[in-house]
Amino acid sequence: MSDTAQNSPVFADLTQIFEPIREELDAVEQEFVRHIQSRVALIPEMGRYIQTSGGKRVRPAVLLMAARLSGYTGDRAVLYASVVEFIHTATLVHDDIIDGADLRRGRMAVHSRWGNDITVLLGDYLYIKSMAMALTHDSLEIIRLLCDVTLRMIEGELYQLTKTGDVDISEDEHFEIIRRKTAFLFGGCAQIGGMLGGVTPEREAALREYGFNLGVAFQLVDDLLDYTADQTALGKPIGGDLREGKVTLPIILLLRRGGEAAGSLIREVVQERSVSVDQWREILRLLREHRVTDLAYERAVEYANRAKDCLAAFPPGRERDALVALPDYVLARDR
């Protein structure tokens, strides 16, 4: 992480933050297993592989915690949290194929193990299964929201593909990708929690904005880790974004501040879709020299603080404390 991050205090880990909803999160895991069952044995086999790959379950946790904060105590929160996890998982398996990523969280990506054809169909299965699960309850408003965020995520992936290899991508264009691919789903998770609790329109909007800003911070940190994290901890090769032609905020800022030398180096790496040890070392040197990692991290801090500010609409309590702690965890994560 950046120097700023290294000097920040150590925040509570996810186990502590999620403690109020531990039982519900366990129930989400059980729902995943139950709904991945099929007479086609390959589907539950692949489902178990994905489930044991070490995902943090942040999105379903946001939904569950927001529901608790909103005073909801029924069982529909677990169902919708499971739906969200299915949608997110479908996105991951499709994204890994598109990116050509061989590793996911330190293990072979699903398509590396089973092949692209089977994995595409698994992603389709997960998407359709998620909506079938949501339809078991007659809440068209929530189903409409889930469809909307899923469409935005797919649009975001398509838009990102049009910008792959574009060294001249603007900051606004990059943030549009972040909003669609990541932030809207986070926002939807928190909003669904409020909808289940029947909160006022103002509080529902506050939860949506909380999740949205948390999602932007999450993705900004994720992009930054490609340049600051230890490869073993990260669970995927360092420099993967650039090799895939993805120009994210650290590189956008470096191109703005680093002059001709930085520009020609980045263009060469993106064009060749490969980076040598010497090139990578030089990129990291330029990032430090121009304080780019600190600047990108500061942007993440801005969004994390915006997320926390949204929770002022709710009275103090254990659930609000947990949601306040989550942006700090996101800022401190190293993988």
pLDDT digits (tens, 9 = 90+) for 77-110: 999 999 999 999 898 888 888 877 777 666 788 8
For 49, the domain range is: 3-332
Distance CA 297, CA 315 (A): 29
Distance CA 150, CA 189 (A): 12
pLDDT bucket at 325, cuts 50 / 70 / 90: very high
Distance CA 128, CA 132 (A): 6
pTM for the model: 0.91
| pLDDT for position 10 | 41
Which among 187, 197, 196, 205 is positioned nearest to 303, based on CA atoms? 187
Is the distance from CB of 234 to CB of 335 less than 8 angstroms? yes
- Catalogue the E-assigned strands of the chain: 103-104, 107-108
The packing angle between helices 184-197 and 140-163, to 10°, is 170
Please give the structure tokens belonging to residue 42: 């390959």
Higher-confidence residue: 195 or 44? Answer: 195
| pLDDT for position 6 | 40
User: Which uninterrupted H or E stretch holds 257?
Assistant: helix 249-257
Give the total number of structural domains in the chain.
Answer: 1
Residue 64: give its domain's CATH number.
Answer: 1.10.600.10
| pLDDT for position 72 | 97
Query: If 0-12 CB within 10 Å is exposed, 13-18 middle and 19+ buried, where does residue 159 land?
Result: middle
User: Which uninterrupted H or E stretch holds 3?
Assistant: helix 3-6
| pLDDT for position 36 | 87
Amino acid at 242: L
| Mean predicted confidence (pLDDT) in 32-59 | 85
pLDDT digits (tens, 9 = 90+) for 196-253: 999 999 999 999 999 999 999 999 999 999 998 876 555 566 678 898 999 999 999 9
pLDDT bucket at 2, cuts 50 / 70 / 90: very low
What is the pLDDT of the chain when averaged over all its residues?
90
| pLDDT for position 234 | 57
pLDDT above 50: residue 278: yes
Distance CA 260, CA 257 (A): 9
pLDDT bucket at 53, cuts 50 / 70 / 90: confident
Distance CA 117, CA 97 (A): 10
| Mean predicted confidence (pLDDT) in 279-292 | 95
pLDDT bucket at 5, cuts 50 / 70 / 90: very low
Query: DSSP string spanning 275-319?
Result: --HHHHHHHHHHHHHTTHHHHHHHHHHHHHHHHHHHGGGS--SHH
Which among 14, 13, 103 is positioned nearest to 57, based on CA atoms? 14
Please give the structure tokens belonging to residue 74: 């029924």
Distance CA 241, CA 73 (A): 41
